[in-house]
């Protein structure tokens, strides 16, 4: 499992619009990584809607925000369109990135393998500043629960 202070795992993944995102592109700017189950999950829909509503505040504080799930780019596009989600949802189809961050994996589910919910704050140097993972749909912090950390990091130049 990844620990606070360790470098975040490098990745290059496509979002719902086919745009590639890398962790390196956020160096100098903190980023929130939201690990979600996928479009099949009502908790994912609720969580991403809440983060979508909060994303302007996140951007105003100088943070980036990315969601990751095992679903395909096409499924993410359909989901994002249906629920008006503008947050990039990255396709980690083989769950390598989720696994590298220590996300709990659920195998042989009727909707295929997926990662359980998780949140990782990456600081401006690309290091893990905070992380929380859930082995179920409950217990994930909503944007308001991490707002004070984001404000604190903003005041400290992107560091926790």
Q: Is residue 7 domain-resident?
A: no
Q: Is residue 105 domain-resident?
A: yes
- Domain range for 55 is 12-155
DSSP H or E run through 113: none
CATH number of domain containing 23: 3.40.30.10
Q: Is residue 4 domain-resident?
A: no
Q: Is residue 54 domain-resident?
A: yes
pLDDT score at 136: 67
Q: Is residue 6 domain-resident?
A: no
Q: Is residue 160 domain-resident?
A: no
**How do residues 48-107 score in pLDDT, each as one tens digit?**
999 999 998 999 999 999 999 999 999 999 999 999 999 999 999 999 999 999 998 888
The residues near 23 (Cβ < 8 Å, ≥ 6 apart) are: 8, 9, 10, 11, 31, 122, 126
- What pTM does this model have? 0.92
- What is d(CA 152, CA 160) in angstroms, rounded to the nearest whole number? 7
Q: Is residue 5 domain-resident?
A: no
* Cα 59 to chain centroid, rounded: 14
Q: Is residue 79 domain-resident?
A: yes
Q: Tally the domains of the chain.
A: 1
pLDDT score at 43: 86
SS3 8: coil
């Amino acid at each position: 499992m990844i620990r606070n202070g360790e470098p975040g795992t490098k990745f290059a993944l496509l979002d719902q619009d086919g745009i590639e995102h890398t962790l390196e592109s956020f160096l100098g700017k903190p980023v929130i990584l939201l690990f979600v189950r996928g479009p099949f999950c009502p908790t994912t829909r609720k969580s991403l809607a809440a983060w979508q509503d909060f994303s302007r505040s996140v951007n105003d504080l100088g943070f980036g925000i990315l969601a990751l799930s095992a679903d395909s780019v096409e499924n993410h596009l359909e989901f994002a369109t249906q629920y008006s989600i503008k947050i990039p949802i990255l396709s980690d189809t083989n769950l390598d990135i989720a696994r590298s961050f220590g996300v709990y994996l659920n195998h042989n589910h009727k909707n295929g393998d997926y990662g359980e919910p998780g949140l990782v704050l990456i600081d401006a140097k690309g290091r893990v500043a905070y992380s929380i993972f859930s082995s179920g749909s409950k217990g994930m912090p909503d944007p308001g629960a991490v707002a004070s950390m984001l404000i604190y990091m903003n005041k400290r130049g992107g560091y926790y």
